[in-house]
Structures are given as C-alpha cells and as structure tokens.
Amino acid sequence: MQTTTLPPGRSRPGLVLVADADPTVWALAGDALRQDGHDVIVAATAEEAWQLFDARVPDIVLLDNATPVLDGHDACVRLRSTAVGARIPILILTGSDDAEAIGRAYDAGATDFQTKPLNGQVLRARVRYMLRAKRDADDLRQLADYDGLTGLPNRATFRRRLEHALARSQRNGTSVAVIFFDLDGFKEINDTLGHGFGDQILRLTGERLIQTLRASDRPLLERSDAAAPWAGRFGGDEFSVTLPDLATPEAASAIAERVRGIFAQPFHLEGQELFVTASLGLSVSPLDGVDADTLLKHADAAMYAAKAVGRNNLSTYRPSMGLRASERLSLAGELRRAVGRSEDLLVHFQPKVDIVTGDVVGAEALLRWQHPSRGLLGPLEFLELAEEIGLGPALGDWVFHAALSESAHWRGQDGRPIPVAVNLANSQFRSPSLLERVLQAIATAGLETSQVEVEITETVALRHQLSDTGLLAGFKEHGIRTAIDDFGTGQSALASLRRLRVDALKIDRSFVRDLVEDPRDRAIASCIVEMSHFLGMTVIAEGVETPGQLGVLRAMGCDQAQGFLFSRAVSAAAFARLLEDATIGQILSGSPSSRSSTTQAAPSRVVPGGIPHYDRHRRL
C-alpha cells in the first residue's frame, strides 16, 4: 500500500473495495480515493467481491445497491454475517435517494449511503469520516482483542479469525491447519531470571513467529489469492498459528517445522545467551475437525503428546491423543482431591548404607500416591502434572511434615537417631519463606536439625542460583545438612561444587549402572569422589543394584550407597523393622573387590515393598 503524508484531521490511507458492475463507477471512485492515498480494488460481480474480501480484507467496502449481477443488499447481509465483515464500514451506492431505498440499505447493515452519480469530493469526505470512526473503534478494540505484550491476536480474536478461515475453506474445498505450542520450561525461566526476562522472551517469540509466517512459501498454499498464515498468543507462554488455504496436510507439517525452527538460535538478553525450545501440536481440517474449538482442542492434545516424548518436539494429532488428554484432565482433578485430603498420599523410605560398616546411616523420603483405581503410583506418574497445576509447593510441604513425623522415633543399632533426607521441588524455591517453613516442620516433628537433610537436584540448585541466594548458608547456619541429588545430570562443571558449599553429593545412578564394565563411568565416578572429598563432602552413590558395583565404589572410597541391593523404598513401619535387621551388613561384607570384572546377581534378600520402576527415576 502506498503511503501519503496527510493534512491534520485526514484519515490514514486504507484499502477500499469497490463492488459495482459499472466501470465508470470504478474510475470515478478510484480517481477520487487515490488522492487521499487509498488503495482501491474493484469487483464487477458478487462472487468477485466475495473472493477479494476473503483474500484482502479491505478497510471499507463500497457496494452497488442493485444491479442484475450484484445485489448490494444481499451482499451487505452476507458480509455482516461474518466475524470480520461485521466490523467493516459498508457504504451503499444507490441510484435512488427515496426513503424506502435508504431504509433498505440500513436494514441490510450499511454504515452509510451515497447516491449516484458520484461526487468525488463528497465521496472522499464520506470515506475519510467512516475510516476515522472505524480506526477510533479499532483502537478501543485493540485493548480487548490483542495481546498487549506481543501485539498478536488474543484467544478470542484468534478463534473468530479461525472460524472465518474454516468457513472459507469449506467453500473452496481447501484445508486449514492449527499449530499450538508453548515454551518448554518457561516457568523455570520466570522463576530463575525473573518475569522481566520472561516477558522479553515472549515478545521476541512473537516477533520471530511473525517473520517466519511472512516468509512462508505460496506454493504450499492452494490458491494464489490465499490468505496469509497468522499467529496469536493465548496467554502465558501459549501461542497458536492458523495456516489457511493449504494444498496438502504435508504443507502444514513443513510450516510447523519452520515455526519450531524459530528457536534454533538463542535469545540474547542483557548480555546473556539463552536457549529456549518449544513443544508443538498440529491438527488439520477436515480430518481432525471442522470447527475452531475442535481443531484447537486437538492441537493442544497433540502438543501434550509432543511433551510426553521430550522437549523440542512436534506431534500431529491422532484420535488416541484426545483420550489421553481426557485422562490427564481426570487425573488432575483426582490429584487435587488427594492433596486436599492427604489420606491417599504416602511416604516410603529407602535406606542409605555406610559402605565401610554396613550400618544404615540415613533414609531418603520418597512420595507415593495410593490411587483408588490405578494402585500405588510413583512420582513419574503425577509429579510433573502436580507442578503444572500449581500443587508442587503443597505436595512438597506435605512430604516434609509426613517424613519427619514418621522418622521421629527411628534409632540405628548403635542407638543414634537416623537422619531423614527430603527432596525439595523446584516450585518450593519460589517462596521466600522456604527456610522458615523447613524449620517449622522440624520443630513440629520434635527433631533436631541435625536429623534432617535437604536434597536438591543439581539442575535446580544452578537454576535458582542457590550459591548466591543465601539459602544454603541459612540451612548450614541452623545445622541442616544439604545434598546435591542426581549429580552429573545437569549442565554444570565440577567446579560449581566449590560455590554451592553443600554437605553431601549423590552420584547419579546413570554413572553407577555400568561401573563394572565401563572404564569411563569408573573414571567419572572416581573423579567425583576425589573432588568431593577434597571439598569436605560426603559422597553417596545412587542406584546400587549389584555386589560388583558396590565393590568398585568401596575401592574408590565412596562413603555411602543406596539402591535395590540393600532395599527398595518401603513404608515407615517396614523401615523401622529393617533397622533391627543385620542382613544389610551381611550383604556389604560379601561384596567383591573393585578388581572384579564380573557383575554378580543381586542377592535374593531384598526388603519387600515399594515400586522399583519409580525409585530409579524422579523423586520428590
């Protein structure tokens, strides 16, 4: 569209559709309106007018009132029946100025009318006024219809435009695709770097999205006059894209991959380089739905399927995904009720064993959910969902109180109390009163702070910059031990341990699993043990399942171990009985030396209970 510098009070240039069967009207209207910088497109028939309206979406429409090939009254009614046409000024051009003709024009939905033959000056003034009024109204609607941060259509506006695209596709026999995506780990960005950083990421995502959609190839679309793709922001970190007039479903996948590609390059913010990924879901009409709500719901289900297989993935909707989404919604409701009652939640305990003496020297508390129909569930089944629906802090607090209460009367064979370790969830670090709540839980249980250990995953420790917040120092000041869990799975270097200043470090099971066979894993584990001891930390190996693994760990000087070789996670009552049993010490005394190259089978004596699959993975 050409631009023109306009005198004060004159409206900005716009796109004007003139629908009239008379070429003389085209010429007169075009000459007059182009003086104000307007672009003018013309149509001789109702069908041409409708196609141009669909493809170009003009700012104002001039309609001939009644000719054999174009009935302005009917066309006006048809335009007003659409979501977009309902907001566009329509000027009826009529050869009669009698009251009946004028009333008929207004009844059809006309904004105003002008009689023929046209007067160019009057037409210019009338169009200026109508466009100025429209844009004043648009400015007000901008607040209600568009996202203030990215400038993209909001959910309601996006949905209206999608409905329009679907109606057009049904007339033209084309397809419409919907892409739904959110940013992986966006809550963690907000929690770690602040909402200011998060807002910048969202704004830049919107900019990259618009640039990518503008560059989409026309050959991927069915028609030369096809409407361009557009994007919207649904709130938070959720975005959606509509791809209208598609030639094939494969074209949708190609553009969806381009959308995913906007995250290939890092975001540069305030001197920091931040990599962000997204999980995308795709649905295509008419196969996956013929209305806006169904397509959006199915694209959302496909997005969750993409997340289920890992970050930075794209999934196309399949009917089975809808069932999983429904099950997930049902599970969320059941989890809310379980947390509210607490009666279906349990804490199991896995022993930590001194590698030298064979004594049980501690316990790790692990959350379980006794689901009424699915049985005993471990954290992998519900913890991520709990974080997503805001139940993470409540679950974390409940586990702390329950674990400390259960362990209050435990004593080892030497009569000393058995410390209990509790994992802190990522969401708990959002609260500035975390230390106070931990101290309150210890006091309520009647324990000494020395009987409690807080476990924090390596990734969470670095994400929340715990070395700089003073939280770890606060735990140490009150005598609460701290441990880094799952060490080696994050993105830090061993040098980061110097700044974290924790009391213990747990070698992740992924390094323990192949200790006997893989010299590289042995070298990594040995390095972790040596450096941790140099920094004054206790070293605990996770996932110890065979005497061969235990022998290697003992030879390299590891302090403690936990795993199925000794016991699965068991109930509090079973753990109390385990403390009176000497079997664990017998297991340890029979372990082979580090020189053994053959992994032996684990002994048959394992304390019953727990669910092994979940003990090997994520904990709360």
Among the listed residues 20, 22, 24, 97, the one whose alpha carbon sits nearest the alpha carbon of residue 64: 20
Average pLDDT rounded to a whole number, residues 283-291? 89
- Quick check: 219 pLDDT over 60? no
129-187 residue pLDDT tens? 888 888 877 765 666 678 878 888 888 889 989 998 998 888 888 889 999 999 988 87
Q: Are residues 406 and 552 in the same domain?
A: yes
7 pLDDT band, cuts 50/70/90, is very low
* Rounded Cα–Cα distance for residues 361 and 532 (Å): 19
Percent of the chain whose predicted confidence (pLDDT) is above 70: 81
555-589 residue pLDDT tens? 999 999 999 999 999 999 999 888 877 566 666 66
Average pLDDT rounded to a whole number, residues 422-431? 82
Q: Are residues 168 and 290 in the same domain?
A: yes
Residue with tokens 């409206």: 11
Q: Is residue 225 in some structural domain?
A: yes
Q: What range defines the domain where residue 44 resides?
A: 15-145
Q: Are residues 442 and 510 in the same domain?
A: yes
Q: Are residues 134 and 197 in the same domain?
A: no
Q: Are residues 269 and 362 in the same domain?
A: no
The last residue of one of the domains, among 82, 113, 145, is 145
pTM of the full predicted structure?
0.51
> According to the model, what pLDDT value does residue 181 have?
95
Q: Are residues 141 and 159 in the same domain?
A: no
> According to the model, what pLDDT value does residue 606 have?
35
At 218, is the secondary structure helix, strand, or coil? helix
First to last CA, the chain: 59
Integer angstrom CA distances of residue 482 from 142, 177, 472, 517: 51, 50, 7, 31
Average pLDDT rounded to a whole number, residues 494-517? 81
Which residue did the predictor score with more confidence, 617 or 243?
243
* Rounded Cα–Cα distance for residues 197 and 234 (Å): 19
Q: Is residue 226 in some structural domain?
A: yes
At 617, is the secondary structure helix, strand, or coil? coil
> According to the model, what pLDDT value does residue 339 have?
84
Q: Are residues 121 and 177 in the same domain?
A: no
> According to the model, what pLDDT value does residue 292 have?
92
438-458 residue pLDDT tens? 999 999 999 999 999 999 887
347 pLDDT band, cuts 50/70/90, is very high
Q: Is residue 332 in some structural domain?
A: no
Q: Are residues 382 and 253 in the same domain?
A: no
Which residue did the predictor score with more confidence, 1 or 542?
542
> According to the model, what pLDDT value does residue 349 have?
94
Q: Is residue 322 in some structural domain?
A: no
Whichever domain contains 76, its CATH number is 3.40.50.2300
Whichever domain contains 225, its CATH number is 3.30.70.270
Domain count, the chain: 3
Which residue did the predictor score with more confidence, 434 or 68?
434
CB 146 within 8 A of CB 154: yes
- Quick check: 604 pLDDT over 70? no
What is the CB-side half-sphere exposure of residue 322 using CA atoms within 13 A?
A: 11
Q: Are residues 139 and 195 in the same domain?
A: no
The last residue of one of the domains, among 145, 167, 182, is 145
Q: Is residue 2 in some structural domain?
A: no
List strand residue ranges (DSSP E) for 228-295, in order. Answer: 230-235, 238-246, 267-269, 272-274, 278-284
The last residue of one of the domains, among 92, 111, 145, is 145
> According to the model, what pLDDT value does residue 143 have?
62
Integer angstrom CA distances of residue 565 from 173, 202, 273, 292, 587: 64, 48, 43, 55, 8
Which residue did the predictor score with more confidence, 132 or 97?
132
Average pLDDT rounded to a whole number, residues 16-34? 91
323 pLDDT band, cuts 50/70/90, is low
- For 315, the enclosing helix (H) or strand (E) is strand 314-316
- Quick check: 276 pLDDT over 70? yes
Q: Are residues 346 and 453 in the same domain?
A: yes
Q: Are residues 168 and 92 in the same domain?
A: no
- Quick check: 420 pLDDT over 90? yes
> According to the model, what pLDDT value does residue 48 have?
86
- Going by their DSSP bridges, the two strands 60-64 and 90-94 should be labelled as parallel
> According to the model, what pLDDT value does residue 110 have?
85
Q: Is residue 619 in some structural domain?
A: no
Strand partners, 314: 280
495 pLDDT band, cuts 50/70/90, is low
Whichever domain contains 475, its CATH number is 3.20.20.450
* Rounded Cα–Cα distance for residues 60 and 128 (Å): 10
Average pLDDT rounded to a whole number, residues 46-75? 79
Q: Is residue 384 in some structural domain?
A: yes
603 pLDDT band, cuts 50/70/90, is very low
Q: Are residues 477 and 569 in the same domain?
A: yes
Integer angstrom CA distances of residue 245 from 48, 131, 167, 293: 18, 29, 11, 19
> According to the model, what pLDDT value does residue 259 have?
92
> According to the model, what pLDDT value does residue 593 have?
42
502 pLDDT band, cuts 50/70/90, is confident
Integer angstrom CA distances of residue 327 from 321, 332, 392: 10, 9, 20
Q: Is residue 5 in some structural domain?
A: no
Average pLDDT, the chain: 80
